Structures are given as structure tokens and as C-alpha cells.
Structure 1
């Protein structure tokens, strides 16, 4: 599929992670859990899976949508210390290519307005299909089994 829609993938914002690291509290004002990775935990700071033994934080995070009934707080993993961030900033995470995901579509009011399950082999095509609907403002990639927020996708300006 030819894609004329440009988009940008967003990892966990550094400022949000800095606040969690500094305060030890999450978005629900609950204590952050520090743990050693068992291996395979999806890291939202650098958009890859953790390697066994890495120092992680587990905490509640509200994915970026407008305030309203669809806004939620869910569990995410991130490095306990500052990391270099995603390998391919702005693009689909290379380490998660081929991973089945749900792409949930949101409108400007933060309401769910569609979505798709995809097998991960051509996420750009699925992203383009969803963004073909002018009502779609933002997409969230979600873990298939647990439903956890993985990353946000927005139309690129231009």
C-alpha cells in the first residue's frame, strides 16, 4: 500500500518520566515499583523489550488523550535511569516490528473512534488506513494480551 500520510511515533515523554523518577509517585499518586527485569518487559522510554536484569520502574501512566471518560491510567515499564530513547525516533519501533498489536483510534475530543488488530508485519499500512479517516486525530498502540498502552502515533505536521 502506498502511504501518503506521514506520522510520528511518540515514546513516553521524558518530562513525565523525569517526574516519576524524581518523586517516586505515579499519575495516581501511588508509589512507583522498582524491579529488576525478568526479560521481555516492553519499555515505553526506548520502545524495546527489557533484557533480564535491567533496572526498571513499573508505574501508572495516563496515555495522551483529551480529558474525558476515555482517559485512563494503566501500568507501564520504563528504565529506572535515563536511557538514550528509541532506536528510530519518530518511526515504528524496529524491535516491535512483527509483534501483534491493537491500534486504537481517538478523535480530537479523546473518544475512541475506531481501531484495528494487526499482526505487526506492516504497521505503517494499518496506521495509514486508520488515518485515512479524517475524524482520527491520534492512535494508541496497545498490547494484545494485556491491553496496556505501548506508544502514541500522531499525524506529522506538514
Structure 2
């Protein structure tokens, strides 16, 4: 039996990106190519203007709040497609799927996937009772990539 879970992937919000672009703590870079962009959920092409800044994904107040460096376009972009099943450039890239419960605590459904079938991996995590949010994170650096919410869940 195959379980299908409807979900939506969320990039960084325009408000977060506007604030980062106006901030003094952000660094401007010229892409070497391959930097994962959290604004449009794709890899940067060589020569694109980038911003590197600190981001704390929203969670309820808990010991699991984390800040980390993320890349985004230095100028506004079109963002990702609304119905993105998974970021196209990131298939084949191992990721940690960190699941959270409604109290903002890490859920035991958290796991690493090898990138081979990330949609199935996301579906399996979201199917676990008590999972209300998933953050995809880079395996090597631990940095935030994007959020995943089951359809019908409130945005975080």
C-alpha cells in the first residue's frame, strides 16, 4: 500500500529576504556556481549576485531554535514554482529531513535520505504521527535548505 501525503515546500519568504537584503550583517558574493539558493530553491549559476546571511527558521520557543548561514539572490527573483514537488537541482543530493512536533521539538521521524527519491522520503516522514513540520538541511554543514508543511497546516 502506498501512502500519499500532500505537502508544500516553502522557500524563504519575501519579507525575510527583503530584511536580509537591507541588513548590515549580510555579505555580498559573486556565485562560483552551485550555491544552494533559499529564495528560489535552485543552485546558483556562476556569476550571479548572491547574499549570504544568518537565518533562523521559525519554530515555537524551544531548545531547538537554530541560526545558520544561507545563500539567496542579492536582488529579488521570481522564487520557486508554487507546486514544486522537490527542488529540481537538489535531486540526488543527500539531505537531512528534520521533523518537528507541534511543540517545536525534534520528532524521532527525522532521518537522512540519499537524494535518490526525496519525495518518497518526505512522504514517509510526514506520514509519521505527530509530525507537523519538516526542515530539509544540508548533510555536511547542517544549514537550513527549506521547510515542508503538510497541506492544510498553518505556515511557519
Aligned to 1:46: 40
Q: C-alpha distance in 2, partners of 1:75/1:89?
A: 26
Alignment partner of 2:69 out of 75, 79, 86? 75
Aligned to 1:139: 134
Q: C-alpha distance in 2, partners of 1:7/1:132?
A: 11
Superposed CA RMSD: 1.6
Q: C-alpha distance in 2, partners of 1:144/1:104?
A: 11
Question: Which deviates more from structure 2 when the two are superposed, residues 138-147 or residues 117-126?
Answer: 117-126
Q: C-alpha distance in 2, partners of 1:125/1:155?
A: 14
Q: C-alpha distance in 2, partners of 1:96/1:32?
A: 24
TM normalised by structure 1 equals 0.90
Alignment partner of 1:32 out of 15, 26, 37? 26
Task: Show the 5 A alignment for 1:15-26.
Answer: 15-22=15-22, 24-25=23-24
CA contact under 8 A between 2:56 and 2:66: conserved in structure 1? yes
Q: C-alpha distance in 1, partners of 2:106/2:148?
A: 14
- Secondary structure of the equivalent of 2:107? strand
Asked if residue 128 in structure 1 is aligned to residue 117 in structure 2, the reply is: no
CA contact under 8 A between 1:3 and 1:125: conserved in structure 2? no
CA contact under 8 A between 1:64 and 1:152: conserved in structure 2? no
- Secondary structure of the equivalent of 1:102? strand
Q: C-alpha distance in 2, partners of 1:101/1:3?
A: 21
Task: Show the 5 A alignment for 1:51-62.
Answer: 51-62=45-56
CA contact under 8 A between 1:87 and 1:94: conserved in structure 2? no
Q: C-alpha distance in 2, partners of 1:74/1:51?
A: 22
Q: How many residues align?
A: 152
After TM superposition, what 4+ stretches of structure 1 lie above 6 angstroms from structure 2? none
- Structure 1 stretches lacking a partner, 5+ long: 26-30
